Amino acid sequence: MAADTTDPAEEFGSNRSWLYDTTPGFYLRKVLIWGTTLGLSTFILFPLYWMVVTAFKTTSEIQQIPPTVVPETPSLEGFRLVVESSLAAGGFDSFLGWDISSAIDIDVLLLIANSLKVAVGAGLIALVFGTIAAYVLSQQEFRGKNAIMSLLLASLMFPGTAIMVPEWELISTLNLFNSHLALILIYGAMTAPFVVWLMKGFFDDFPDSILDAARMDQCTPYESFRYVIAPMAVNSLIASFIFAFLLAWNELVFALTLLNQSKFTVPPGLLTFVQGFNTQWNVVAAASILVSLPVLAGLAYIQRYFVQGLTGGAIKG
């Protein structure tokens, strides 16, 4: 068999790509990459920028045509009205010598407190039951295991509105209408399947040698889970909790349907700032920023755990 005497450099030269192997192609690729990145960034970030800019505009400037991209006269009017609305709703006529008068009377602090209660409760329910189910599905073999996993996956594909009627009937039967417990149970059930799938991937890749060592130390399955596995799954547990928390924090349809205005969480509560033809959009934007601050502060602190939990689904033995 004749030896291959093809020169690799000559072969590369005969198969050069204009886009990758020439100077004009190099610059064209740079332009395409940066142009695409800039376009996607603008599409994603511009609504957030517009919300912030609107919060610092006066009502008269918001109504200008064409609209201004940067506030001509930055104002805290929107934030002032939101604070006055919360104080008025709390029963304050004056505060530190400041006379309180507001026609909106929406307590933003109460909305945040309600959302925190619902989101934390739903996250804990999804985390506890989802993690236990994932551990059993990962470590035990029994008939119907694959069917259960397929059913859990299929439940993630159904939109929440598809189960609105049966959920309404169930909540009415349990006499939980206009209660935060109803939302906690619904949101916890909606996010538990995701927790099961995420945590099962972690448990499937957990080193058997560590579990064998725990058994040799006469640990029961509960003790192995409590003292061995759970401490090593902290990142994945945090990631699961954050997902469940954010879904409950941002959900609108069930909260708007099952709660009265006195029990509103943040999403339906923000809608009450929209008042027909007399909506003050700087107030809406300011309220949106204020209710987002607690979540942003919390996520900024634990975001590294969230990323590690989503990408570190396996442990190297």
The per-residue pLDDT for range 28-85, each reduced to its tens digit, is: 888 889 999 999 988 988 888 988 888 888 878 888 888 888 888 888 888 887 877 7
pLDDT tens sequence across 264-288: 898 888 887 776 667 778 888 888 8
Residue 247: pLDDT over 60? yes
pTM exceeds 0.85 for this model: no
Q: Residue 88 has what pLDDT? A: 67
Q: Which domains does the chain have, with CATH numbers?
A: 112-265+305-311 (1.10.3720.10)
Q: Which residue has the higher pLDDT, 264 or 18?
A: 264
pLDDT at 317 over 60: no
Write the burial class of residue 76 (CB in 10 Å: 0-12 exposed, 13-18 middle, 19+ buried). Answer: middle
Which has the minimum average pLDDT: 33-37, 68-72, 96-100, 257-261? 96-100
Q: Is the pLDDT of residue 313 over 50?
A: no
